[in-house]
């Protein structure tokens, strides 16, 4: 009996990869709750920063784009750069894609993955089942990768998440719980700015704390994009075009350059359509850095260093850290200790070769963990167009 390929994760990258593997006739088992991060860990009422063309899950056959879903669901088509996508619509699109192309999805959790003697992998599920796979694709998205800077982590541990004094933005789906409360949101990217706007619209009194030299800023609307630069899913710019369509050589850049570009390209920057909503209801404090957070009596306080060199204290009923995500193999505890120690990593992220394969033959990574090897496009859904067919092709050639 041919051992299947295991795909761990049922978000955009997991579903797209599984669809390509199935189209090649490769036996595959896919594990996870479809679109769970988008459904449960994004704020209710959120809109996508990405344009419709940047929000398609890549499929091996035609007829499975966001526009195709809109037609099937009988809702207005989302196709132009001025069309704004509700997160709820995107979740429904992903679930529709799964039902059409990955119908055998198994809604169970992979507990452990270990290298198998003689080749392949041993997997254990939370159902108690154990089985062997000839290859494993890790497509777990943002799960377990929420990043809290050290200066906030101590205060976050002072109470049960997300009810403690400090929490991460990914822990809040329902922001109405902050109605009538004072809220500090740390960050200047889309996550921070949209969380702040939604909380303010839900009745909270919100202040955004922007760190470092950057100011809170918003992108240009589509009609103000430069006309002489090539189009890309992220806007008109030669650099964005190259990173979107030609990420092949990215992994050969120096490590320092690769990690810097992943952090800085396309962020932090709010969506053009959010600016008016944000400025109408949210205050901003720009500081040099956050020194610490504490909550000795249960009420959180944030100590900051101003650009003039003074130390000031801000108080609120709660602090939300919209401080992003950081790839760290150590956080992927479903990978066995022996497997993790064999992986070549760069600043916590797996080093990937051609076809998204890691230093352990048969173990692949796609989505955000692949960004340090293939560039910022892997942070976005449109990265499935480059990643999924190449990963499936490499896996088929190596393990077919």
Residue pair 97/59 in contact (Cβ under 8 Å)? The answer is yes
Continuous segment of H or E residues that includes residue 281: helix 275-281
Q: How confident is the model at residue 152 (pLDDT cuts 50, 70, 90)?
A: confident
More confident residue, 228 or 194: 194
CB 280 within 8 A of CB 145: no
Strands 110-115 and 121-125: antiparallel
Contact 207, 315 (CB under 8 A): no
**Rounded mean pLDDT of 66-78?**
97
How many Å apart are CA 400 and CA 395, to the nearest integer?
7
pLDDT for the residue 392:
97
Q: Among residues 376, 383, 379, which one has the least CA distance to residue 259? A: 376
How many angstroms from the chain centroid is the CA of residue 210?
A: 21
Report the pLDDT averaged over residues 238-243: 79
Alpha carbons 346 and 356: distance in angstroms, whole number: 15
> What's the confidence (pLDDT) of residue 165?
87
**173's tokens:** 């789906």
Average pLDDT over residues 369-376: 92
Q: Where are the alpha helices (DSSP H) in 5-111?
A: 12-23, 36-40, 66-73, 87-101
Asked whether the bond before 198 is cis by omega within 30 degrees of 0, the reply is no
pTM given for the model: 0.93
pLDDT at 103: 97
Tokens for 281? 């209801």
Q: How far apart are CA 303 and CA 151, in angstroms?
A: 10
Determine the Cα–Cα distance for residues 71 and 58; give it in Å rounded to an integer.
17
Mean pLDDT of 363-374: 95
What is the structure's pLDDT at 349? 93
Element spanning 166, H or E: strand 166-168
Give the per-residue pLDDT at 117: 86
pLDDT of res. 334: 95
Considering only residues 235 and 343, tell me which one the structure prediction assigns the higher pLDDT.
343
Assess whether pLDDT exceeds 70 at residue 313: yes
38 neighbors 98 (Cβ within 8 angstroms): no
pLDDT, residue 160, reads 53
Q: Could you read off the pLDDT of 315-324 as tens digits, one per residue?
A: 999 999 999 8
| Per-residue pLDDT tens over the stretch 261-311 | 887 777 688 999 999 999 999 999 999 999 999 887 778 999 999 999 999
- In this structure, are strands 311-315 and 301-305 parallel, antiparallel, or unpaired? antiparallel
Measured at the CA of 271, the angle between CA 265 and CA 272, to 5 degrees, comes to 120
- 172-188 mean pLDDT: 94
**Element of type H or E holding 291:** strand 289-294
pLDDT of residue 69: 98
Q: What pLDDT sits at residue 27?
A: 95
Q: Using 50, 70 and 90 to split pLDDT, how confident is the model at 235?
A: confident
Beta 363-365 vs 289-294: how paired, if at all?
A: unpaired
Which pLDDT value is given to residue 371? 92
Percent of the residues in the chain that have a pLDDT greater than 90, as a whole number: 69
Name which of 304, 122, 118, 138 is nearest 210 in CA terms.
304
Q: What is the pLDDT of residue 295?
A: 83
Residue environment code for 214-226, b if the CB has 16+ CB neighbours within 10 A, otherwise e:
eebebbeeeeeee
Q: Is the pLDDT of residue 2 over 70?
A: no
> Given CA atoms 313, 318, 322, 323 in this order, what sign does their dihedral have?
positive
- Return d(Cα 368, Cα 349) in angstroms, integer: 9
Alpha-carbon distance of 110 to 133, in angstroms, equals 12
Could you tell me the domains of the chain? 5-144+326-399 (3.50.50.60), 150-219+269-321 (3.50.50.60)
First to last CA, the chain: 13
Tell me the C-alpha to C-alpha distance, in Å, between residue 319 and each of 178, 196, 203, 225, 283: 11, 11, 16, 35, 15
**For residue 164, what pLDDT is reported?**
74
- Work out the burial of residue 298: count CB atoms within 10 Å of its CB; fewer than 13 is exposed, 13-18 middle, 19 or more buried: exposed
What is each CA distance from 287 to 135, 144, 204, 307, 377, in whole angstroms?
47, 28, 22, 6, 30
> pLDDT-based confidence at 341, cuts 50/70/90?
very high
Provide the pLDDT confidence category of residue 37 given band limits of 50, 70 and 90.
very high
Q: What digits encode the pLDDT tens for the residues 377-399?
A: 898 999 999 999 999 999 999 87
**pLDDT tens, residue by residue, 81-134:** 899 999 999 999 999 999 999 999 999 999 999 999 888 999 999 999 999 999
């Amino acid at each position: 009996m041919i051992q299947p390929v295991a795909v761990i994760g049922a978000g955009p990258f997991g579903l797209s990869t599984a669809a390509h593997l199935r189209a090649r006739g490769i036996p595959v088992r896919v594990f996870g709750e479809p679109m769970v991060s988008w459904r449960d860990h994004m704020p209710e009422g959120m809109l996508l920063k990405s344009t419709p063309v940047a929000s398609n899950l890549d499929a091996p056959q035609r007829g499975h784009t966001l526009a195709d879903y809109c037609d099937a669901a009988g809702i207005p088509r989302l196709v132009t750069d001025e069309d704004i996508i509700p997160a709820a619509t995107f979740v429904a699109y992903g679930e529709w894609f799964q039902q059409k192309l990955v119908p055998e999805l198994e809604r169970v959790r992979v507990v452990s993955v270990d290298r198998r003697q003689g080749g392949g992998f041993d997997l254990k599920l939370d159902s108690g089942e154990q089985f062997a796979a000839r290859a494993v694709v890790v497509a777990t998205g943002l799960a377990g990768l929420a990043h809290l800077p050290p200066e906030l982590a101590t205060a976050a541990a002072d109470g049960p998440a997300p009810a403690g004094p400090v929490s991460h933005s990914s822990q809040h789906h329902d922001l109405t719980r902050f109605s009538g409360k004072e809220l500090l949101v740390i960050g200047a990217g889309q996550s921070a700015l949209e969380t702040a706007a939604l909380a303010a619209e839900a009745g909270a009194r919100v202040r955004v704390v922007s760190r470092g030299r950057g100011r809170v800023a918003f992108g240009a609307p589509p009609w103000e994009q430069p006309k002489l630069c090539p189009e890309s899913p992220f806007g008109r710019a030669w650099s964005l075009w190259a990173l979107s369509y030609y990420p092949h050589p990215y992994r050969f850049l120096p490590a320092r350059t690769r990690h810097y570009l992943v952090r800085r390209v396309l962020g932090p920057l709010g969506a053009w359509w959010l600016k008016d909503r944000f400025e109408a209801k949210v205050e901003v404090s720009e500081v040099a850095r956050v020194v610490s957070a504490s909550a000795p009596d249960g009420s959180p306080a944030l100590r900051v260093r101003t650009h003039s060199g003074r130390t000031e204290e801000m108080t609120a009923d709660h602090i939300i850290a919209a401080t992003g995500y950081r790839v760290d193999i150590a956080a992927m505890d479903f990978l066995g200790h022996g497997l993790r120690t064999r992986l070549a990593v760069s600043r916590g992220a797996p080093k990937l070769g051609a076809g998204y394969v890691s230093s352990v033959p048969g173990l692949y990574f796609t989505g955000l963990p692949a960004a340090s090897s293939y560039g910022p496009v892997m942070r976005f859904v449109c990265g499935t167009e480059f990643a999924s067919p190449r990963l499936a092709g490499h896996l088929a050639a190596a393990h077919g």
